[in-house]
């Protein structure tokens, strides 16, 4: 959603799960930001590029940089020139945000890295938990090319759902991957007892694919970042891919949390850096009961840094 306000707020998705737009709704309705949601390449209305050598993190970062420049220059179609830009990413999107502001510190007036830390040692656990398979085989009637002769599709549990509307097949080629099933989705994104089962089912039914090219360029993040603006890292306490299931298990009594160590990567940010651990939450912050608390932390941080919508 875009309007002519002076404040602009940008979000792009994690490659492993669809983004729950309740946060965007909160930013727009409650905090009056203008927003733009940026799909990864190969998602949404994007063409399905070659999944190994084409759909990779560097080209996605370049695309985000180009879109940001258009907003600042006033050349984005149908949008008034934007004076302030805030970038917010989740998981892989946080890594893209991190790289973007390192390459061009002037590109953003503030960044929020959700579902993120600087510790990549747990990513193999995440990969094993996902048990990636061919997306077009995993959901052949949505992500593949199969069309059934009657109105029924497989639900999140793999059974036929005769009440569901027949989808238009997205026709992903071989090479695009998806997590194996609802159990792998739950393991990687959801903390038991702190989410509604309906959120898990919806997440599995609407999940988006990822490419090997993205997974292999996931770790292309520089240790030190040149950015000096406001930085908030907010991660669920029980995040699997970036904390191994416990963000407080630092092994260092002087370190408050694993995401807090990201401060060392932003030597120019100083007091503009903050790390926050959201309790009773897994990697998918938007899918848990206390998601509104997450949104309040993010927006209060931005407001406190002079980035409230004007």
For the chain, give every residue range classified as CATH 3.40.50.1820: 7-125+214-304
Taking only the tens place, the pLDDT of each residue in 195-231 is 999 999 999 999 999 999 999 998 777 899 999 999 9
CATH architecture for the domain at 7-125+214-304: 3-Layer(aba) Sandwich (3.40)
Report the pLDDT averaged over residues 42-53: 93
Q: Which two tokens stand for residue 85?
A: 């830009």
- Span 68-99, pLDDT tens digits: 999 999 999 998 899 899 999 999 999 999 99
Measured from the Cβ of residue 246, the count of other Cβ atoms closer than 10 Å reads: 13
Q: Which residues of 253-272 are buried (b: 16+ CB within 10 A; e: fewer)?
A: eeeebbbbbbbebbeebeee
- Phi first, then psi: what are they for 114, rounded to 5°? -100, 150
pLDDT of residue 10: 58
The answer to whether residue 20 scores a pLDDT higher than 60 is no
User: E strand or H helix at 187, and its extent?
Assistant: helix 182-189
Q: What is the pTM of this model?
A: 0.89
How many CB atoms within 10 Å of residue 32? 14
Q: Return the pLDDT at 74.
A: 94
pLDDT at 119: 94
Predicted confidence (pLDDT) per residue in 120-169, tens digit: 999 999 999 999 999 999 999 899 987 654 444 455 545 545 455 556 78
- How far apart are alpha carbons 25 and 88 in whole angstroms? 14
**Which candidate, 139, 140, 165, places its Cα nearest to that of 151?**
165
Distance (Å, rounded) from C-alpha 239 to C-alpha 263?
Answer: 18
């Amino acid at each position: 959603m875009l309007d002519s306000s002076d404040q602009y707020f940008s979000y792009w998705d994690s490659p492993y799960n669809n983004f729950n737009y309740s946060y965007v709704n909160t930013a727009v309705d409650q905090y009056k930001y203008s927003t733009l949601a940026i799909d990864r390449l190969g998602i949404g209305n994007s063409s399905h590029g070659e999944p190994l050598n084409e759909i990779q993190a560097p080209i996605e970062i370049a695309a985000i940089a180009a879109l940001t420049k258009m907003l600042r220059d006033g050349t984005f179609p149908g949008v008034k020139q934007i004076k302030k830009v805030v970038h917010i990413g989740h998981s892989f999107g946080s890594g893209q945000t991190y790289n973007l502001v390192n390459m061009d510190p002037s590109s953003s007036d503030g960044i929020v890295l959700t579902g993120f830390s600087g510790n990549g040692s747990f990513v193999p656990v995440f990969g094993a938990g996902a048990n990636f398979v061919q997306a077009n085989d995993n959901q052949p009637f949505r992500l593949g090319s199969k069309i059934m002769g009657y109105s029924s599709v497989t639900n999140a549990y793999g059974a036929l759902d005769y009440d569901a509307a027949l989808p238009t097949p997205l026709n992903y080629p071989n090479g695009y991957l998806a997590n194996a099933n609802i159990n792998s989705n739950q393991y990687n994104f959801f903390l038991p007892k702190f989410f509604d089962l309906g959120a898990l089912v919806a997440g599995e039914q609407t999940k988006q694919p990822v490419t090997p090219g993205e997974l292999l360029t996931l770790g292309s993040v520089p240790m030190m970042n040149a950015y000096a603006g406001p930085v908030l890292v907010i991660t669920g306490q029980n995040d699997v891919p970036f904390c191994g299931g416990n963000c407080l298990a630092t092994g260092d009594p002087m370190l408050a949390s694993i995401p807090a160590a990201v401060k060392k990567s932003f030597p120019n940010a100083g007091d503009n850096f903050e790390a926050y651990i959201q309790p009773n939450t897994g990697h998918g912050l938007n899918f848990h009961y206390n998601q509104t608390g997450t949104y309040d932390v993010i927006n209060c941080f931005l407001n406190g840094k002079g980035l409230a919508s004007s």
